[in-house]
Amino acid sequence: MIQPYDLRCEYLPSPVLGLDVIPRFSWKLQGNGKKQSRFRIIVSNKFEDILLGQGNVWDYSADSEENINIEYSGKELQRYTGYYWRVKVWDENGDESEWSEPAYFEVGPLGDWRAKWITMKNPRTFKDPAHKNELYHAIYLRKEFVIKRNVKKARVYVSGLGVYELRINGKKVGDSVLDPAQTDYLKVALYSTYDITPFLNHGKNAVGVILGNGRHIKDYGYDKPKLFFQCLIEYENGEIDFVLSDESWKATHGPLKENSFFYGEHYDATEEERINGWDLPDFNDGEWGFVEVVDGPPLKAQLMPPIRACHTFKPQKMWSPRSGIYVFDFGQNISGWVRFRVSGPRGTIVKVRYGEILNRDGTVNTKNLRAARSIDEYTLKGGGTEVYEPRFTYHGFRYAEIEGYPGIPSPEDIEAVFVHTDVEKSGDFICSNEIFNKIHQCVVYSQLANLMGIPTDCPQRDERMGWLGDAQLTAEEAIFNFNMAAFYSKYLMDIKLSQREDGSLSDVVPPYWKRYPADPAWATAYATLLWYMYFFYGDKRVLEEHYESLKKYIDFLEKNSRDLILEDVGQHGDWCPPGDRFPKRTPITLTSTWYFYHDVLILSKIAKVLGNEEEHLKYSKLAEEIREAFNSKFLRKAIDHEGKERWYYEGLRLSSKDRMPTSQTANVLPLWLEMAPPAVKEKVFETLVNLVEIDSDAHFDTGVVGTRYILEVLSDNGRIDLAFKMLGQEDYPSFGYMIRHGATTLWERWEKLENKGMNSHNHVMFGSVDTWFYKYLLGIQPKKEKWKEIHLKPYFSREITFAKGWITTPRGTLKVAWEREGKRIRVHLEVPVSTLVTFFVPSLCSVVEPDDLSEKKVILFEAGVHTLSLEEVQGGND
Ligand code: BGC
């Protein structure tokens, strides 16, 4: 029997509130059956029905293995209405499961927007050195309302640009911070939905909102912070009421003053008295001014995990480099802020400066933050213990320098708060090689620190932008480590909204910096994320929603090419190879044209999935033409000094003596997509191996693009040993080199740089290599969409004694572990329901247990727990 669990609506766990799309349902499966053969979903607006197994708006069964994204098609769903749903399944023998636990979703206003966008008239401004235009002090808004009847349920639909905190009757609502997720605020703002029933009083109530700048600033084309608040109150007698943001609200300034992502924030607690009780009823707001009503963008539900304070770190070390200054080392580079406890005289100012690295004298080195001031300032009110943490800023840091603290701070009173989009963990990996484990940890931390409602490049300097390149390169890694489905669905919307009439996309999305047209190696995020959403999460809806826009983008590339070669659109290419920011030997034209091919291939596959055979053929043909153009432009033959024929893809000539101008990346890319004619493919691979093994002594000589693919190309073509060696290096340039120099997150550059300029110590863009641990060392290679079929090809390296890991796929959790003892290798495997794993026995191994498999070279595993013992026959494994 199998049993459904972990029910999801639009990828989110129950309850899902404020829905504004037709819901899709998913569940996972556990138990000892092999696969699901049938399912039944019931949906009802009455809980009693659901308990009785009845769906009064939808009752749907199908003979199907599908458990992912089943789209609702029952009676029309009503705005503001809640629905319960349940599912049951049958296994391959027709055995029926129990009903799942009930889950709940609720529909939002569906366009019934009654509130108005409001803001303060003439708020105070300040200058942030990172921005041209002025920013605003935090704005406090309030409104009182009365409840005369018994409340059945109350919901708030709220958005505050750039960032807000919502408070009702003195308490913060929800546990998210820095809400809403960033978008292009001219096009859309995301609203969150809260159940505020438990916050309300019979009688008088008050709502208070603090607004901060976030990214809703003039430099990026926006203006003052503003609020949209719509509260629906449903009474027990069935009547409804609304509390709405409108001209009757009042506004003022308060203790939270200057604030911005780059600046930090200033909180003056001496000002608390003046507005004490501002978020409670019966407060005298006579001094406050009335708000003004302003225009605002359309609203969409924020159907993704919010940003939260996810984890805290205690200081590992503390020292005082100068009198009155204390530095704390939290042992891990993160995104977030410091929370501290303090008591001292009123008016004392405590300042916290943040940084990733140290100066020689033990002070915090902030040079690489560029114009980001990154200081939080707290003015004590005095008279007891005070706890402070900022609200409307965040920093990238491992070290914090505290100045002005009354007395000597105790490490007990200080902690670092790790703040990021709270995506669920969906995979992990560990093995006997410490460098590998540390690389994996660095990637995971860099990835989390760079999820802030959008995927960012870095969390510390005056940038923190949604660079599409960084996003696309690490998307597969992120998907292996975290459940990214909801996050990427939203980001795909951001990408689409950034598209210009001519089809071009911006390097940076949301386009706070308008960088059109994007480098194709960056803009490929559009095609790449779409394909991953389908391949890994089975999401066909996003393909439908974005198909026309993706076509428009491809048309743009085609129009801007010369004979299908893209010479004028790229500007970064194989960004940040060793020794430089710009690609040295890999022509940008080559990376741009390669991504053109890559994206057209994806578009042709999407056309096929959507059943558009004609366009599938059209784009397959276009892809083929690009391949030919690419080969005739770049594929070259040379005769080396030994008179041997060599084939390679041509890179930039660095000197006239350069007989074979090429680079690792120039060969890696066409090999990854099998573009070379079969007759010369091996020769090209030989060139690559020579470049890696001989010219670079098994080191990376790649920027972010080449690094993404090189380990896979080496591994797939019989040189996994070389990939293993490169990844395990500890001297420059390598990941081990970063780690040996104290990295706890990945650097932006292969070099150890600590001065002004481009040298973030928390960039995830090189983190693409993390998938190699899952896909090659553990050998988990998804072969069919939705993890339906998986090839298992572990690399039983002799230098490793064990490797193990897990991935939660949309069907359940897949676990793989292997362990070596001399020539014996034991493999442990747990396969989720409805999944087929094909295990490939390495050619130099044979199965010894179970003995009925001893002749096998390929073994099929269905759902369940399996163990195998293998023995190396001779010499090692292939
Ligand atoms: C960012 C990179 C980004 C690059 C593009 C940098 O400033 O930090 O990660 O992709 O610019 O050139």
Q: What string of DSSP letters covers 541-559?
A: HHHHHHHHHHHHHHHHHHH
Residue whose CA lies nearest to ligand 1 atom number 3: 467
Phi, psi dihedrals of residue 750, rounded to the nearest 5°: -70, -25
Q: What string of DSSP letters covers 287-356?
A: TSEEPEEE----EEE--SPPEEEEEEE--SEEEEEETTEEEEEEEEEEEEEEEEEE---TT-EEEEEEES
pTM: 0.97
Q: How many CB atoms lie within 10 A of CB 154?
A: 23
Dist. CA 104 → ligand 1 center (Å): 42
- Say which residue, 860 or 641, is predicted with more confidence: 860
Distance (Å, rounded) from C-alpha 856 to C-alpha 853? 5
As separate numbers, helices (DSSP H) first and strands (DSSP E) second, the chain gives 16, 48
For 162-173, what is each residue's pLDDT tens digit? 999 999 999 999
Q: pLDDT band for 660, please (50, 70, 90 cuts).
A: confident
Q: Which atom of ligand 1 is nearest to the CA of 461?
A: 8
End-to-end Cα distance, the chain? 39
Q: Is 287 a catalytic residue?
A: no
Dist. CA 214 → ligand 1 center (Å): 21
Mapped onto helix, strand or coil, the DSSP state of residue 267 is strand
Q: pLDDT band for 875, please (50, 70, 90 cuts).
A: low
Residue whose CA lies nearest to ligand 1 atom number 12: 572
Contact 519, 506 (CB under 8 A): no
CA 476 to chain centre: 10
Q: Which atom of ligand 1 is nearest to the CA of 758?
A: 7
Question: Which of 571, 572, 581 is the best mutation target for the ligand 1 pocket, counting ligand atoms within 8 Å of the beta carbon and taking the most?
Answer: 572
Residue whose CA lies nearest to ligand 1 atom number 8: 457
Using CB distances shorter than 6 Å, the residues near ligand 1 are 457-458, 463, 467, 469-470, 572, 575, 763, 765
Q: Which atom of ligand 1 is nearest to the CA of 467?
A: 10
Q: Is 463 a catalytic residue?
A: yes
Residue whose CA lies nearest to ligand 1 atom number 2: 457
Q: Cα-atom radius of gyration of the chain, to the nearest Å?
A: 29
Q: How far is CA 543 from CA 323, 547, 598, 658, in A?
A: 60, 6, 17, 45
Q: How many CB atoms lie within 10 A of CB 360?
A: 7
Q: How many CB atoms lie within 10 A of CB 65?
A: 19
Dist. CA 621 → ligand 1 center (Å): 33
The two beta strands, 307-313 and 203-212, are unpaired
Mapped onto helix, strand or coil, the DSSP state of residue 655 is coil
For 572-609, what is each residue's pLDDT tens digit? 999 999 999 999 999 999 999 999 999 999 999 999 99
Report, as an integer, the average pLDDT of 564-570: 95
For 803-825, what is each residue's pLDDT tens digit? 999 999 999 999 999 999 999 99
Contact 128, 260 (CB under 8 A): yes
What the block records as the tokens of 514 is 């308008």
Q: Give me the catalytic one of 265, 356, 463, 830.
A: 463
For 117-152, what is each residue's pLDDT tens digit? 999 999 999 999 999 999 999 999 999 999 999 999
Question: Which of 356, 369, 508, 575 is the best mutation target for the ligand 1 pocket, counting ligand atoms within 8 Å of the beta carbon and taking the most?
Answer: 575
Those residues whose C-beta lies under 8 Å from the C-beta of residue 694, and which sit 6 or more positions away, are none
Q: Count Cβ atoms within 10 A of the Cβ of residue 46 and give its class: 0-12 exposed, 13-18 middle, 19 or more buried.
A: middle
Dist. CA 457 → ligand 1 center (Å): 7
Q: Give me the catalytic one of 10, 401, 650, 748.
A: 748
